[in-house]
């Protein structure tokens, strides 16, 4: 039996929420309290990662957290800058008599996955192998307990807004999708019509990628319907919105946003945007085929599905790896 009170765990990333949160969510699902390491990799490893694997002990800048012994029992990493740390830890603990660190990498590492104990990737990456675990969506920190707690915090601020309430998760332009005022204007009009026809209200949270111009268009378009639009100050009430919503509307540019929305078990409508890629198209098609999402065209339907919960299966696989490591170190 694995004594989790004795297990040490690192979460390693460059500090970006999209990279760090899946790692934290996995650690939390395992019942562990991790040490968070936010790393900075210096030249030439920064430019050549993960292909330059020599001299990894010198790869880390003093601007980030230190990477070195004593090594943890479990290291969970995500993001390109974290690759050097995962590779260094595994290499350093593979020798005779060493207390081997189990390394879990979340994302496609681009290099041979066998360099890690486990690689966790979404199925739309089309990556397979004996130590690769595929998930339907991205890993995240959303749990029913988190949503209930955050909903209670937000409730007093939106108690005056009528039901049904629609959480609206707005992303922004990225490498493959485009969200400009030209796209935001018709979206704002559809959201306005939804609030009018249902008699309900909108709980809107933009992201860092949304931009001021898009946010201004959205605010102007929703000014005469019941709406709470987060203005970017203070803590983002995102989880509270998910907890209070009767349905969720999310732009298509983020696998993370869509995955978190589908963990609620509530109807999830996806807003299409210009652009896309084969990977995104595979993801959204699979979510529709699995009955989790439907396109947002301004109309409403109601349907049920089993909430998306890839985290439990990943945590079970990691726990088995940890038990195997503990047995080998006896």
* Cβ 246 vs Cβ 199: under 8 Å: no
Same domain for 187 and 265: yes
pLDDT score, position 1: 57
What is the bridge-based pairing of β-strands 74-77 and 9-13? Answer: parallel
Same domain, 214 and 104: no
306 within some domain: no
Mapped onto helix, strand or coil, the DSSP state of residue 89 is helix
How many Cβ atoms from other residues are within 10 Å of residue 42's Cβ? 15
Q: Which two tokens stand for residue 264?
A: 């609620």
pLDDT in tens, 168-209: 999 999 999 999 999 999 999 999 999 999 999 999 999 989
pLDDT in tens, 254-290: 999 999 999 999 999 999 999 999 999 999 999 999 9
Asked whether residue 205 falls in the same domain as residue 288, the answer is: yes
* Tokens 């959204």 -> residue: 284
For residue 190, the Cα-to-chain-centroid distance in whole angstroms is 27
In this structure, are 198 and 221 located in the same domain?
yes
Instruction: Say if 300 falls within a structural domain.
Output: no
Question: Residue 9 pLDDT more than 70?
Answer: yes
- In angstroms, rounded to a whole number, what is the distance separating the alpha carbons of residues 325 and 329? 6
Q: What is the CATH number of the domain that holds 164?
A: 3.40.50.2000
Domain count, the chain: 2
Reported residue count of the chain is: 330
Question: What are 60-102's pLDDT values in tens digits?
Answer: 889 999 999 999 999 999 999 999 999 999 988 886 555 789 9
Do the beta carbons of residue 120 and residue 135 sit within 8 Å? yes
Q: Could you tell me if 167 and 24 lie in one domain?
A: no
Task: Say if residue 240's pLDDT is above 80.
Answer: yes
CATH number of the domain to which 126 belongs: 3.40.50
Would the pLDDT of 2 be above 90?
Answer: no
Domain assignment present for 182: yes
Q: Alpha carbon 289 to chain centroid distance?
A: 21
State residue 205's pLDDT score: 96
Residue 141: predicted pLDDT: 86
What count of Cα atoms within 13 Å lies in the side-chain half-sphere of residue 170?
A: 31
Whether residue 146 has pLDDT greater than 90: yes
Domain check: are 160 and 227 in the same one?
A: yes
| Residues 54-86: b if buried by 16+ CB within 10 A, e if exposed | eebeebbeeebbebeeebbbbbbbbbbbbbbbb
Residue 34, number of CB atoms within 10 A of its CB:
21
Closest by Cα among 165, 151, 186, 184 to 253: 184
Q: What whole-number distance in Å separates Cα of residue 152 and Cα of residue 300? A: 26
The pLDDT of residue 279 is 93
Span 224-238, average pLDDT = 92
Tell me the whole-structure pTM to 2 decimals: 0.86
Q: Say what the pLDDT of residue 100 is.
A: 86
For residue 166, which phi and psi values (nearest 5 degrees)?
A: -115, 120
List the beta strands (DSSP E) in 196-276. 201-206, 227-229, 247-251, 268-271
Q: Up-side HSE of residue 125: CA atoms within 13 Å toward CB? A: 20
Q: Is the pLDDT of residue 10 over 80?
A: yes
57 and 120 in a single domain? The answer is yes
Q: Identify which of 164, 210, 223, 163 has the alpha carbon closest to the alpha carbon of residue 184.
A: 210
Residue 284 sits in the same domain as residue 235: yes
Domain span at 221: 144-295
pLDDT for 300: 86
Confidence of residue 6 (pLDDT cuts 50, 70, 90): confident
Contacts of 263 (CB under 8 A, 6+ apart): 140, 142, 307, 308, 309
Instruction: Calculate what percentage of the chain has a pLDDT beyond 70.
Output: 97
- 321 and 193 co-located in one domain: no
Tell me the pLDDT tens digit for each residue of 13-48. 998 888 899 999 999 999 999 999 999 998 887 887
What pLDDT, on the 0 to 100 scale, is given for residue 154? 96
The predicted structure's pLDDT at residue 53:
78
CB atoms within 10 A of CB 4: 14
Please report which confidence band the pLDDT of residue 55 belongs to, taking 50, 70 and 90 as the band edges.
confident
CA distance 249 to 281: 18
Q: What angle do CA 78, 107, 16 make, to 5 degrees?
A: 35
Q: What is the mean pLDDT of the chain?
A: 92
Q: Tell me which of 94-98, 213-217, 219-223, 279-283 is least confident.
A: 94-98
Residue pointed to by tokens 């439990």: 312
């Amino acid at each position: 039996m694995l004594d989790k009170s004795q297990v040490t765990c690192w979460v390693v990333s460059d500090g970006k929420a999209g990279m760090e949160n899946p790692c934290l969510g996995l650690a939390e699902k395992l019942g562990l309290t991790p040490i968070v390491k936010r790393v900075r990799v210096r030249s030439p490893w920064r430019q050549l990662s993960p292909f330059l694997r020599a001299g990894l002990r010198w790869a880390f800048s003093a601007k980030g957290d230190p990477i070195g012994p004593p090594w943890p029992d479990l290291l969970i990493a995500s993001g390109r800058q974290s690759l050097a740390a995962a590779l260094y830890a595994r290499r350093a603990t593979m020798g005779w008599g060493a207390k081997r660190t189990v390394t879990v990498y979340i994302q496609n590492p681009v290099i041979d996955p066998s360099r890690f104990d486990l690689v966790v990737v979404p199925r739309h990456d089309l990556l397979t192998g004996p130590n690769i675990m595929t998930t339907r969506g991205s890993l995240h920190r959303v749990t029913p307990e988190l949503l209930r707690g955050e909903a209670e915090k937000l409730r007093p601020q939106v108690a005056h807004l009528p039901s049904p309430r629609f959480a609206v998760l707005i992303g922004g332009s990225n490498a493959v999708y485009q969200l400009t005022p030209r796209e935001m204007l018709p979206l704002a009009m559809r959201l306005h019509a939804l609030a009018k026809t249902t008699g309900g209200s909108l709980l809107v949270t933009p992201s860092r990628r949304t931009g001021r111009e898009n946010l201004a268009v959205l605010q102007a378009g929703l000014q005469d319907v019941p709406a709470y639009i987060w203005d970017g100050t203070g803590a983002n009430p995102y989880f509270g919105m998910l907890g209070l919503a009767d349905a969720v509307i999310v732009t298509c540019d983020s696998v993370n946003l869509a995955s978190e929305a589908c963990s609620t078990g509530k109807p999830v409508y996806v807003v299409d945007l210009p652009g896309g890629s084969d990977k995104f198209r595979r993801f959204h098609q699979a979510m529709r085929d699995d009955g989790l999402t439907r396109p947002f065209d301004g109309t409403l339907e109601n349907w049920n599905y089993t909430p998306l919960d890839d985290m439990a299966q990943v945590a079970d696989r990691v726990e088995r790896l940890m038990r195997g490591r503990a047995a080998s170190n006896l």
